[in-house]
Amino acid sequence: MEEMVCIECPNGCVLTVENKDGEIIVGNYKCKKGITFAKTELLSPKRTISSIVRTVFPDIPVIPVRVSGDIPKDRIFDVIEEINQIRLDKRVGRGHIIIDNVLGLGVNIIATSSILINT
Amino acid sequence: MNIKKIQKRLNSSFDGKVTASYRDNSIVLEGELSSWDDIVKACYTAAKRYSKTHVVNDIKFTGAEIPKMRVPDFSDKSLEGSFWDVLIIGGGISGASIARELSKWELDVLLADKEPDLALQASGRNDGEIHPGVDLSKGSLKHRYVLLGNKMYESVCKELSVPFERRGQYVGFTQRWTFPFVVLYALKKKYIDDVTDTKIISRKNLIAAEGKINPNFKFALFNSSAACVCPYGITIAYAENAVSNGVKVSLGTAVTGMVVEDENIVSVSTNRGTIYPKLVINAAGVFSEDVAKMAGDRFFSIHPRKGTDSILDKKAGVLLNSIAAIKETALKRSHTKGGGVLHTVHGNLLIGPDALETYKKEDTATEPSSISKVFAKQKRTVPALTERDIITYFAGVRAPTFEEDFIIEAGRKTKNIIHCAGIQSPGLTCAPAIALDIEAKALEMLKKDGLVINENKSFNPIRKAIPALKEMAPKEREELIKKNPDYGVIVCRCEEISKGEILDALSSPISVPTVDGVKKRVRPGMGRCQGGFCMPLVIQIIADYLNIPMDEVKKSYDNSSVLFGDIKEKSKELL
Amino acid sequence: MKEYDVIIIGGGPAGLASAISAKDEGKDILLIEREVRLGGILKQCIHDGFGLLRFNEKLSGPEYAEKYIDIFNEKKIKALTLTFVTEIVKEENGFTVSVVNRDGVTNLHTKTVILATGCRERTARQIFIHGTRPSGIFTAGTAQAFVNIYGQKPTKKCIILGSGDIGLIMARRLTLEGAEVKGVYEAKPTPSGLTRNVHQCLNDYNIPLHLSHTVTRVFGNSRLTAVEVSRVDENMAPIKGTEQIIECDALILSVGLIPENELAETLGAKLNERTKGPVCDNLYMTSVDGLFSCGNALHVNDLVDYVSENAAEAGKAAANYIKSERKLLEFSVGENLLYIVPQSIELESDLSAVTVYFRSSGDFNGKKFTIKVNGDTVFEKKYAFLRPPEMEKLVIDMNKFNLNMNSRIEFSII
């Protein structure tokens, strides 16, 4: 039996994970998110990441972005590399897609602030 | 004391490892010792307090390597081949005040300091007390100048627009039996040593004046002339006024050597070129012995003595309105009072300093033991003091001689140098008076050389300070903001400093466009958050002002950048 | 002089939430913010994890803040930005608030004030770091501002002192942006931040966490060149002989947050030793009549969701404030409890749903949060685990307790 910290919410439950004849048994969770988390974490761990992109606007040199959904943990730095290439020259708002389907992972890089349009 | 007697005493302590001899009217000590404390002890053994016959320390220190003087890591030719009537070496309170007094005359004066700003060594790293001189006796230069300097401070600070407050100093005594001795001491101070404001006050009056002071004080020695000033503030103000009156200040300029011919300094080499001064004034603090040596006029030695002070949050300012210290006979007599508690002109409390001998002239690193020792003692002055209120602390290195007096005189061998050396507490207090004497001496020496010196007709003794909006009445503040809205944009929330004030600092007569340079002039980052919130804003204001990227803005020294550049340096234009 | 019902100081999550709820009570309110933009420190908290309780969504800080800013703007609430409060004076019928901004100096009058001023970070000096004073010593929040707001690199190779949440978050942020984080050092034997952050910010990136270690000295005359770290004993005092020099160009500090209460103090509001914020009642009113406090100015919360929640309650209470004799019953803090907020209740107020926030004083498994009135247990709740970094919240019907001014109400973890 393995222990695993669930990162789905601030509770940070210490889950127990057991592989019983190919079936994954999760224990010690406070909510169902724990079960999903443990299973994914064992098979193909996923994470959310946030970063910033450079803009061409001197008043707002960078704006915050994040992935619209979880990405495989082992692709984090590949995605960051894509974000690093961007230089934003349009005043876009919160939710605007900055990179569509990044690296074919099925998620977008979206702006998480409207500071460029609300200044 | 004759040399044989000195030798005998040295032999009893150092087993023949140190020899003493008279050379050029100085007592030269030679030999080898591995402990710096022993070297200091040996030199004290040979030295006579306040004597003009100085100890020159040539004892080789084998215990560690003495660090070399830190010099700027750049060089240029900006001063190459320039001629000056007077070169002042050192931009501390001594050099700055001398520069200002000399600016009353039509002279070409250059003030050079190796640091990126003024007052970066001892002058900016002390408690800012303007001493009454109650601990000094007739016969020393310290005593002479402290009485003169103290009296001058009001008018100097008024001319230079520097905050100055006479808050008075209490020295409290816990032992009732000492009362008759202290009475006699006070009488001597008042009537023989001319410290005329000295008086003894009762416990009742003491508590009435300072409610939070140690209730066990039975009585106190009080001097109403004790005062507080911002030590780097007054230094910068002096230098700015000098610049406004024609003096050139060259920072980041280290004197590295001199050519001396026929007992005359011909040229002085610096990292910014070789310069040709008629007269050199040595106000180089801990390095004044090194400068004297370059000039072929080394007749004294400096032994660096480090002190550490703590600054408390303004909240703690209510604990004491004045300057106070505790005195107990059991406490060993040391070179300073072992510190005190002082209400600064900015409303904080300052605790310290202590005194530790060191061979490192520029060791301004702080040690936890210094803080805890000073606190342990000063909690007996003001019991409610707590380390939890500390917002920052700093250390400075004093530059005393072994005779523990100032050296204010022309060279003994070299003809065109004036030494302003051995300056330590109460050097800040004495500076205005010393500067006048050095001004007179310099004029006399230059005139003797045949120079005709005219008054500087456009000399203006008044320095206009950067407005401190927080201190202003609302109406006055309102008027300034109407003229310049940047005065209404608060950048530093702890000290309530506006963008306008920061821009004023950047365009002041001696602009030092660094985070520390701005902080020293208008105080953003001096408060309880220590710049956590305002540092990025200050860096941005400096960058915008100089039209440079943020990562080129320095904290202080040339290679002290705060940032390493664009985090997304790989980004490119999207088509 | 302009006259308001409520003036809110601070435009971060607490200020925004309290402004919105006060406005909903139909009152004339004004929010004062010293920065150019609303949103407070959330503007630079670009990582996700905000809003799980409030919106059931994993939002980044700016998204969370802007959701509130949108509502704030829709409701046409008045705000003065780039405006700094220089003084608040208590008067017979409220307060005079003096502000300064580009237009000059203005006095405003209000019946009530809500302090939503947030918190600040402890500095290197406050934790007695010694040595030289080079550039390269940053609080985690300052480093975060440089990276996330200015897009600037504060370090290439650093260590982080303190395992508070911002420190952990910054360890990950800096790593993602190409810096090397050589380790996180924590003087306490347990991490200060949330367990999930230790996992997703450190473990995911193989950043070592050194517990029971602290930084004892910094080196470098211009830029920081190295730090000395030492092991500490159980009293957190460095152990001689365990010093180790680590080369790096920055020391980033995440060593605690302190509520900003200089304004509260000048008004004579009583502060709590433990929370470092003002003491308050269940209506978030401080010891000064008409002066309210919420969010991180009141006590440092670990979740912005809680900040918004108590700020909204404070906003409502301030809007409906009517001056009257207060009947406060003070809470006693019993064993194993670090603190509880509020510290008292107003017996004349609605006690059917009193929100309490608390932290345990140590790590406990299977203990019960217990309320005793006059020695009798009237409420208990069992917790599988309680840790000081993880704040707990409960809503309790206190009408059931039949409290009066002579009651003794004690909270403890047993």
Interface residue B484 vs chain C (CB under 8 A): no
Chain A residues lying within 8 Å of B568, measured CB to CB: 52-54, 62, 84, 86-87
d(CA C11, CA C33): 5
Chain A residues lying within 8 Å of B573, measured CB to CB: 56, 87, 89
* Domain match, A14 and A65 both: no
Residues B373-416 have pLDDT tens digits of 999 999 999 999 999 999 999 999 999 999 999 999 999 999 99
The pair of three-digit structure tokens given for residue A48, joined into one six-digit string: 């959310």
Choose, from B54, B131, B143, B419, the residue flagged as catalytic: B131
**Chain center to CA of B467:** 24
Is the CB of C222 less than 8 angstroms away from the CB of B558? yes
The pair of three-digit structure tokens given for residue C151, joined into one six-digit string: 């897009």
The pair of three-digit structure tokens given for residue C177, joined into one six-digit string: 């942006």
Q: CA dist A9 to A37, B393, B441, C57, C64, Å? A: 11, 41, 77, 10, 16
d(CA B178, CA B183): 9
For chain C, list the domains and their CATH numbers.
Answer: 1-121+256-323 (3.50.50.60), 123-255 (3.50.50.60), 325-414 (2.60.40)
At A119, the pLDDT band (50, 70, 90 cuts) reads low
* Domain match, A9 and A58 both: no
The pair of three-digit structure tokens given for residue C222, joined into one six-digit string: 């211009």
Q: Which of C130, C151, C178 sits opposite B367 (nearest CB)?
A: C130
Whether A79 is in a domain gets the answer yes
| Model confidence at B449: pLDDT above 50 | yes
- Domain ranges, residue A11: 2-43
Clarify whether B346 is annotated catalytic.
no
* Mean pLDDT score across all residues of chain B: 95
Alpha helix (H) ranges present in C188-341? 195-197, 262-266, 304-319
Is the CB of B566 less than 8 angstroms away from the CB of A54? yes
* Domain match, A55 and A100 both: yes
Work out the average pLDDT over C237-244: 96
**Do strands B264-270 and B273-282 pair parallel, antiparallel, or not at all (unpaired)?**
antiparallel
Residues C376-387 have pLDDT tens digits of 999 999 998 898
Residue of C nearest to B527 (CA): C123
Alpha helix (H) ranges present in B250-347? 288-294
* Domain match, A72 and A34 both: no
At A29, the pLDDT band (50, 70, 90 cuts) reads confident
Work out the average pLDDT over C267-284: 97
Q: What is the pLDDT of residue B528?
A: 86
Chain A residues lying within 8 Å of B574, measured CB to CB: 86-89
Is the CB of A89 less than 8 angstroms away from the CB of B574? yes
Residues C117-170 have pLDDT tens digits of 999 999 988 888 999 999 999 999 999 999 999 999 999 999 999 999 999 999
| Model confidence at A14: pLDDT above 90 | no
pTM: 0.95
Measured in angstroms, the CA of A109 and the nearest CA of chain C are apart by 13
* Domain match, A57 and A32 both: no
* Domain match, A37 and A90 both: no
Residue of C nearest to B540 (CA): C150
* Domain match, A90 and A63 both: yes
| Model confidence at B575: pLDDT above 70 | no
SS3 A56: coil
| Model confidence at B6: pLDDT above 50 | yes
Most A-contacting residue of C59, C144, C148 (CB-CB within 10 A), to test interface:
C148
Work out the average pLDDT over B483-507: 97
Whether A119 is in a domain gets the answer no
Is the CB of A84 less than 8 angstroms away from the CB of B568? yes
Chain C residues lying within 8 Å of A112, measured CB to CB: 46, 59-60, 62-63
Measured in angstroms, the CA of C221 and the nearest CA of chain B are apart by 8
d(CA A119, CA A57): 11
Work out the average pLDDT over B540-556: 97
For chain B, list the domains and their CATH numbers.
Answer: 3-61 (3.30.1340), 69-163+225-302+399-465 (3.50.50.60), 169-221+304-391 (3.30.9.10), 471-552 (1.10.10)
CA within 13 Å, CB half, B240 = 25
* Domain match, A33 and A58 both: no
Q: Which of A9, A54, A94 sits opposite C66 (nearest CB)?
A: A94
Work out the average pLDDT over B126-144: 96
Interface residue C198 vs chain A (CB under 8 A): yes
CB C328 within 8 A of CB C347: yes
Q: Which of A53, A62, A89 sits opposite B573 (nearest CB)?
A: A89
Whether A82 is in a domain gets the answer yes
Q: What is the pLDDT of residue B484?
A: 98
| Model confidence at B454: pLDDT above 80 | yes
Q: CA dist B511 to A108, B118, B508, Å? A: 49, 11, 5
Interface residue C147 vs chain A (CB under 8 A): yes
Q: What is the pLDDT of residue B335?
A: 41
Whether A118 is in a domain gets the answer no
Q: Report the length, in residues, of chain A.
A: 119
* Least confident segment among A10-14, B250-254, C230-234, C265-269: A10-14
* Least confident segment among B330-344, B356-370, C164-178: B330-344
Chain C residues lying within 8 Å of A94, measured CB to CB: 62-63, 66
Cβ neighbours, 10 Å, residue C52? 19
Interface residue B456 vs chain C (CB under 8 A): no
Is the CB of C146 less than 8 angstroms away from the CB of B536? yes
Interface residue B347 vs chain C (CB under 8 A): no
Is the CB of A113 less than 8 angstroms away from the CB of C58? no
Q: In sequence order, what E strands does B399-449 have? A: 407-410, 417-421
Backbone dihedral angles phi then psi of residue C121, each to the nearest 5 degrees: -95, 145
Q: Which residues of A touch B (CB under 8 A)?
A: 52-54, 56, 62, 84-89
Contacting partners of chain A (3+ CB pairs under 8 A) = B, C
d(CA B442, CA B448): 10
Interface residue B544 vs chain A (CB under 8 A): no
Interface residue B334 vs chain A (CB under 8 A): no
Q: What is the largest CA-CA distance in chain C?
A: 65
Q: Which of C98, C100, C265 sits opposite B488 (nearest CB)?
A: C100
| Model confidence at A9: pLDDT above 90 | no
* Domain match, A25 and A58 both: no
Most C-contacting residue of B313, B392, B471, B490 (CB-CB within 10 A), to test interface:
B490
CB C69 within 8 A of CB C75: no
Identity of the amino acid at A1 = M
Is the CB of B533 less than 8 angstroms away from the CB of C100? no
Q: In the beta sheet, which residues pair with residue B397? A: B306
CA within 13 Å, CB half, B417 = 32
* Mean pLDDT score across all residues of chain C: 96
Residue of A nearest to B568 (CA): A84
Q: What is the pLDDT of residue B338?
A: 63
* Domain match, A59 and A34 both: no
* Domain match, A73 and A24 both: no
Q: What is the pLDDT of residue B328?
A: 78
Q: Helix, strand, coil proportions of chain C in percent (round to 5)?
A: 20, 40, 40
At B573, the pLDDT band (50, 70, 90 cuts) reads low
* Domain match, A37 and A62 both: no
Q: What is the pLDDT of residue C194?
A: 87
**Chain center to CA of C12:** 11
| Model confidence at C178: pLDDT above 50 | yes
d(CA B16, CA B25): 23
Total domains, chain A? 2
Q: CA dist B184 to B143, B170, B199, B226, B437, Å? A: 19, 17, 11, 21, 33
Is the CB of B391 less than 8 angstroms away from the CB of C125? yes
Residues C13-24 have pLDDT tens digits of 999 999 999 999
Interface residue C367 vs chain A (CB under 8 A): no
| Model confidence at C259: pLDDT above 60 | yes
